[in-house]
């Protein structure tokens, strides 16, 4: 049985995958010359398409699509603060309704299965927008929620939102004490043991958890409980000898501590947490450039007395409006985050690899903008690296507290491709970025995304943390991008680079692939690692490279492309590299094959032909599938520019050969 259009069966897809195709006059069974001609035409059209979408300031940014919990929580926030307005509510409801599936549920990625918490939050948002519970689409959703265990089976974050309105009891939620802010950095479960995204969310939620506010609910939600008279039946505790059992009992102890916690200590802890929050508000009013911490920070500060006209609050609320994408049909989608630095460096690499002159005005403008975005002050990362000078880049427009290692590596690779009129300025910025990335290497030789050695096993055990990753351990894809950047900078033989290479080789899966932490999944990991290893000097004949090539050849779809469903994070054995072919994932596979010297191979030729055949007339590609990752399986992303920048990069390297070598060998 194959998957349905919306993926609701969860059945394994066939290796072949359909795709919307545009005739590019590619002859049947075209030879190498025919494929190369088609690749050149596709490359030129993709170049024109991408150039036309650069902002006047020099950056690119595609929509960052996630799921309807962003939109539902935005409406819940407005309801909680008493600032709802009819236009916003109507537009958000239009978007949320449009995302509902035939079975009444909402998924967290295109083609994915219905997800309980997303369905609960979407349902409540539509109730706030005026949809009646007896309307067919609402009744179908409620019936499905009850069949899955009702609200009681939803994630903690969903039940926190419901507790804000009295739809759930605060005492039935895990405790999160504000005194956590006082834990020293050497102590387990201190805030710096959490990944930066979790840290920014947990600190404000300690205030919310301590205050336990309740705004009057505008309606009951009995229809979402299996038994409205017993909405939260008691659950058995895990054995005390297990970690789950230990942390469940710790949570019970914290509930008891709440009743006896000294009021002066608690008040001081909340004030300290509030100062921590305010100190990390960005210049644009947001927190960390991502929506969830901003939402919880606004609520927390409001609860301890900040009125909505206070500058901190006013700017925070204004920043949330900038996450809204208004569509032509009047619907309003909320982005969880915005990705201009990431999109701009990837677009610059793609255009340069496609043959755009290094001094092209639009590449220079992109470089100018990226140079202004370099972060030159310390952030939370300096808690673990206090002596390291700053010099990284973040993902977003404004996020000086949390530059990330992945963006920094890719920005350096992008800047190296630009013939900038002020080479001294360029060299200084690159030098700062390289130095910062080297200083952020973890003790195992690899790199995480935001922090050093953020590998504590305890945060993920907390009953509170039942949704997604809350730590930031090193990953193969980030490490690969750093290694590739260091190789381009002539540091292939530096001991730090060699340690990164050794870690990557040790992390290769038995089948020849690499796990992809920030992209879906084994195709992304492999597409990142192979170009890095070859850039660092590993020969194409190296056994690790040959295993990767053999794996990519085995998992290629019948249509010539590659695809991978997000369910590979949940069940790698069945879903690894299985899914409908996409432009971005096909490009990742091609980047690996081309780096391994497989330009003339049948697999590479078929992959290039797939990209040329499925390109739209305007030079774009269609890609409804989610190929980006926030949290593996739990939070998925459709980067709307991925379908453009990665295929263009792959086509450029196919047509022009080896990618830009930069300063390789110069040190």
pLDDT digits (tens, 9 = 90+) for 47-78: 999 999 999 999 999 999 999 999 999 999 99
Distance between alpha carbon 555 and the CA centroid of its chain, in Å? 25
Q: What is the mean pLDDT of the chain?
A: 92
Return d(Cα 441, Cα 453) in angstroms, integer.
8
Model confidence at 20: pLDDT above 80: no
pLDDT above 90 as % of the chain? 84
**pLDDT (0 to 100) of residue 1:** 29
Can you list the alpha helix ranges (DSSP code H) found in 416-542? 423-439, 476-488, 495-507, 522-535
Quick one: tokens of 79? 């309801």
Return d(Cα 493, Cα 499) in angstroms, integer.
10
Q: Which CATH class is domain 40-62+339-455+474-656?
A: mainly alpha
Backbone angles phi, psi at 630, to 5 degrees: -95, -65
**pLDDT (0 to 100) of residue 250:** 79
pLDDT digits (tens, 9 = 90+) for 501-525: 999 999 999 999 999 999 999 999 9
Residues recognised as catalytic: 406
Region 65-334: CATH code: 1.50.10.20
Residue 544, number of CB atoms within 10 A of its CB: 18
Q: How long, in residues, is the chain?
A: 667
Residues spanned by CATH 1.50.10.20 within the chain?
40-62+339-455+474-656, 65-334
Return d(Cα 483, Cα 493) in angstroms, integer.
11
pLDDT digits (tens, 9 = 90+) for 207-248: 999 999 999 999 999 999 998 888 887 777 677 667 777 777
pTM assigned to the model? 0.93
pLDDT digits (tens, 9 = 90+) for 30-46: 577 899 999 999 999 99
Residue pair 483/501 in contact (Cβ under 8 Å)? The answer is yes
Return d(Cα 563, Cα 15) in angstroms, integer.
9
pLDDT digits (tens, 9 = 90+) for 261-318: 899 999 999 999 999 999 999 999 999 999 889 999 999 999 999 999 999 999 999 9
Quick one: tokens of 409? 């590596």
């Amino acid at each position: 049985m194959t998957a349905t259009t919306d993926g609701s069966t969860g059945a394994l897809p066939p290796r072949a995958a359909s795709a919307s195709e545009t005739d590019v006059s590619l002859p049947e069974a075209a030879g190498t010359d025919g494929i190369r001609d088609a690749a050149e035409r596709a490359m030129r059209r993709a170049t024109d398409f991408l150039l036309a979408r650069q902002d006047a300031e020099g950056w690119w940014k595609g929509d960052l699509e996630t799921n309807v919990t962003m939109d539902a929580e935005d409406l819940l926030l407005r309801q909680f603060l008493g600032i709802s307005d009819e236009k916003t509510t109507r537009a958000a409801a239009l978007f949320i309704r449009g995302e509902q599936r035939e079975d009444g549920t909402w998924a967290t990625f295109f083609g994915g299965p219905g997800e309980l918490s997303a369905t609960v939050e979407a349902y409540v948002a539509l109730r706030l927008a005026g949809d009646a519970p007896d309307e067919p689409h609402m009744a179908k959703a409620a019936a499905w929620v009850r069949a899955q265990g009702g609200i009681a089976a939803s994630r903690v974050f969903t039940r926190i939102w419901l507790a804000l309105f009295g739809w759930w009891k605060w005492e039935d939620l895990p405790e999160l004490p504000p005194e956590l802010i006082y834990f020293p950095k050497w102590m387990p479960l201190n805030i710096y043991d959490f990944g930066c995204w979790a840290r920014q969310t947990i600190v404000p939620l300690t205030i919310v958890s301590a205050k336990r506010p309740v705004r009057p609910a505008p309606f009951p939600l009995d229809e979402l409980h299996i038994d409205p008279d017993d909405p939260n039946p008691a659950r058995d505790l895990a054995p005390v000898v297990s970690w789950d059992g230990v942390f469940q009992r710790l949570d019970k102890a914290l509930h008891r501590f709440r009743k006896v916690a000294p009021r002066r200590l608690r008040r001081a802890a909340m004030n300290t947490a509030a100062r921590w929050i305010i100190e990390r508000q960005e210049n644009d009013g947001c927190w960390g450039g991502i929506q969830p911490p901003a939402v919880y920070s606004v609520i927390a500060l409001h609860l301890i007395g900040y009125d909505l006209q206070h500058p901190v609050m006013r700017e925070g609320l204004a920043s949330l409006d900038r996450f809204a994408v208004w569509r032509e049909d009047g619907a309003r989608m909320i982005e969880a985050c915005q990705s201009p630095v990431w999109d701009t460096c990837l677009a610059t690499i793609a255009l340069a690899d496609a043959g755009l002159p290094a001094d092209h005005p639009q590449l220079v403008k992109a470089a100018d903008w990226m140079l202004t975005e370099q972060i030159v002050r310390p952030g939370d990362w300096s808690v673990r690296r206090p002596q390291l000078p700053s010099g990284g880049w973040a993902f977003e427009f404004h996020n000086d507290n949390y530059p990330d290692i992945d963006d920094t590596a890719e920005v350096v690779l992008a800047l190296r491709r630009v013939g900038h009129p002020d080479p001294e300025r360029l060299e200084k910025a690159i030098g700062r970025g390289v130095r910062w990335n080297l200083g952020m290497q973890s003790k195992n030789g690899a790199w995480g995304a935001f922090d050093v050695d953020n590998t504590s096993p305890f945060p993920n055990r907390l009953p509170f943390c039942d949704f997604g990753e809350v730590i930031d351990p090193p990953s193969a894809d980030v490490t690969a991008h750093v290694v590739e950047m260091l190789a381009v900078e002539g540091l292939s033989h530096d001991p730090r680079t060699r340690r990164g290479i050794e870690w990557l080789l040790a992390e290769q899966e038995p089948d020849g692939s690499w796990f992809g932490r920030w992209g879906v999944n084994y195709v992304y990991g492999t597409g990142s690692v192979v170009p890095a290893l070859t850039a660092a000097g590993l020969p194409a004949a190296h056994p690790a490279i040959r295993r990767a090539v053999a794996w990519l050849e085995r998992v290629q779809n019948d249509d010539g492309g590659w695809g991978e469903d997000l369910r590979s994070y949940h069940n790698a054995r069945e879903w690894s590299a299985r899914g409908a072919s996409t432009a971005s994932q096909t490009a990742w596979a091609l980047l690996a094959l081309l780096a391994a010297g497989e330009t003339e191979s049948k697999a590479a030729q078929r992959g290039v032909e797939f990209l040329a055949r499925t390109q739209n007339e305007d030079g774009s590609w269609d890609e409804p599938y989610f190929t980006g990752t926030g949290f593996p399986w739990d939070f998925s992303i459709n980067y709307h520019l991925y379908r453009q920048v990665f295929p263009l990069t792959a086509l450029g390297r196919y047509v022009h050969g080896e990618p830009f070598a930069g300063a390789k060998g110069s040190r």
